[in-house]
Chain A
Amino acid sequence: MSVKTYAKAINEAHQQLLASDPRVFVIGQGSESPWFVGTTTVGLVETFGDERVIDTPISELVVTGSAIGAAMSGMRPIVFHPRLDFMYLAMDPIINHCAIWHYMFGGQVNVPVTIRGIINRGGEQAAQHSQSPFAMYAHVPGIKIVCPASPYDAKGLLVAAVQDDNPVLYCDDRWLYSLEEEVPDEIYSVPIGKGRRCCEGTDISLVTYSYLVPHAVQAAKELAQEGISVEVIDLRSLRPMDYGLIFESVEKTGRLVMADPEWPVCSIGDHVTSMVSRHCFSALKAPIEQINFPDCPVPASTPLEKAFFPGKLEIMDACRLVVKE
């Protein structure tokens, strides 16, 4: 056990997965680049060689499709995209092939591929270098989705994704890369489909994931000083989703704030609030509040960009509103 950053935890998971399982290989655009993927692939090619750590031309479709095909052939590839925005070019292999293959052939062929989509944004990168369209993938049956928000989960969920017999979309977030915490040195996995209660509370269930988790935890701390007791739930896994954990919390608190780091229409937040409305209606003491990005593309200009991405302050405002109601 030692203190590691989120980025280091991802790197260590790669190292240990490659070292422990000959079926694992890493493929993507920029594995040898100093800037594409932060420091998460540093040292991999030196240790494991360019046959198992494959830097690729900018051909998202074939790179993703080939990882999917290799997974069908018994390998455990990790294919990564330096931006989720670029991954749209691989939608056909992901949706039309990877997600439905196991079902379409009656369970004969499984696709144990890990598709790592990295979220990066900020710094005036504008609309095509900033996206995190989780719901677009969550809509499709057949792909699991995990979004680690801590160094511990970043390592454990990557290991779980690779060990899973199904396709897993693993979305790590560059805004979390410098987070630090104690992370085991040995290889371990975090179960997919299980959320995490980050802190207990009695007045509000604050459900969130990805980069908004640290904002939510900080908001809960500050709201405690105002006498508002907030329970923060990190979904960690969007598919399958830990409904039990959410419902149990809302049954206890009677209030829900959903903080969802993506566009608002047909979003993960919409799904959570709909499920809570259907299953916990009688427990609700106040209307549900939901935070999303504004319903527009991501702008470049710093003041606009700051207004675009919600954080601790927006979460605190929403929490104050639901207790007032």
Chain B
Amino acid sequence: MSERDLEALAGSHLCKIPPRFDSIGLSDSAQILLLREMLRIRVFEETVADLVIQKQIVTPCHLYTGQEAVAVGICHSLRDEDQVFSTHRSHGHYLAKGGGMQEAMAELFCRVTGCSFGRGGSMHLAFPTKGLPGSSSIVSGSMSIAVGAALAEAVRKSGGVSVVFHGDGVPEEGSWHESANFSAVRKLPIVFVCENNLYCTHMPLPKRRVHDNFPEMAKAHGFRYIAQVDGNDVLAVAEAGKLAIEKARNGEGPAFIECRTYRWRGHVGPNFDVDMGIRSQEEIDFWKTRCPVETFSRYLLQKGVLSETAWKQIQSEVSTEVDASVEFAKMSPYPDVSSLTNHVFREGK
């Protein structure tokens, strides 16, 4: 991509400057929790990248490194019973919503102790007790399912909210438009979170769309709460998420948030797609200066919210947690072959 394209993509007001971290009135401990959750995802994903390189993990992993602020910022305002629907790139959403880390790691090792008992692999993580009924690896596949979770809440008036994370390629599927229109016409309690990381697999946005206009599309479908935020600014995401979730919960209908962000690694696997001519090293280096974890930790340290000692302590705890999850996964057995055809149907009926 030329520099001009990159500039156009990034959006002058969102991504050419470092994240702003405007205070949104969160307590110190809440802000530290956001940082900690982002770090958990970062260390988990970077560890997974190494394990893939070592061929210890075989299942195709679509890594979330660089996008941590989106999952963490949105999930901050969700309750356990609110349901989150995700994509092939689901590790971050799963961890941010409260899915167990060791069960996730074991699933990446496809072991029987995994969160999907070794039947799902990287693209299909579930943790129903935390509002994670499963993720779909079909691009746009989660859209209508997530609308259904919101429809269930609406029919039984149970007050829950459904959140669907989707990439910037999804509004190029018909499913997105059907889901947007139907959610709006039924005023369903759902939040669409578009993680615009500027690429859909190998294709940059300008090659796929004439207009860079995701919020306008939501507006055209009748969404009333629409936001476009710096997806590397966890406070900006958290603020937009809080408002969107509140409005959806209060019966004001669906909400749409576009988070501009960037995935550091390639579409799938640990590589960076530079060697394949898809992206430039300069582009990746630029986005690394906008690292959501690094910039936020620096901000909290500078403001005195976080001490160097406390930060080191967090890093050490997270590292220990991730290491333990790898040990747990490695020690776990594979599913027994005799279970191969179990669970096609729920037994009993």
Q: Taking beta carbons and an 8 Å cutoff, which residues of A are in contact with B?
A: 22-23, 25, 27, 51-52, 54, 56-57, 59, 61-75, 92-93, 96-97, 101-110, 141-142, 144, 163-166
Contacts and interface: CB of A to CB of B under 8 A. Distances in A.
24 contacts: A51-B155, A56-B182, A61-B178, A62-B182, A65-B144, A65-B147, A66-B144, A68-B148, A69-B144, A69-B148, A69-B149, A70-B149, A70-B151, A70-B155, A73-B149, A75-B155, A102-B344, A104-B120, A106-B126, A107-B343, A108-B134, A109-B128, A109-B133, A142-B345
Q: Which 5 A-B pairs have the closest CB atoms?
A: A69-B148, A65-B144, A106-B117, A62-B178, A66-B148
B106 to A, nearest CB: 12
Interface in B147-186: 147-156, 162, 174-175, 178-179, 181-182, 185-186
B184 to A, nearest CB: 11
Given A62-B143, A65-B143, A96 B149 contact: no
Interface of B: 83, 116-120, 124, 126, 128, 133-134, 136, 138, 141, 143-156, 162, 174-175, 178-179, 181-182, 185-186, 342-346, 348-349
Nearest to B81: A73
A100 B138 CA distance: 13
Nearest to B179: A62
Nearest to A191: B349
Contact of B152 (A74, A107, A164): A74
B144 A57 contact: no
Given A65-B145, A97-B136, A106-B117, A59 B126 contact: no
Nearest to A23: B156
Nearest to A74: B152
Given A59-B182, A96-B138, A166-B349, A141 B144 contact: no
Contact of B147 (A54, A69, A74, A101): A69
Nearest to B154: A51
A52 B155 contact: yes
Q: Which of B83, B133, B145 neighbours the largest number of chain A CB atoms within 10 Å of its CB?
A: B145
Contacts of B151: 27, 66-67, 69-70
Contacts of A102: 343-346
A315 B250 CA distance: 61
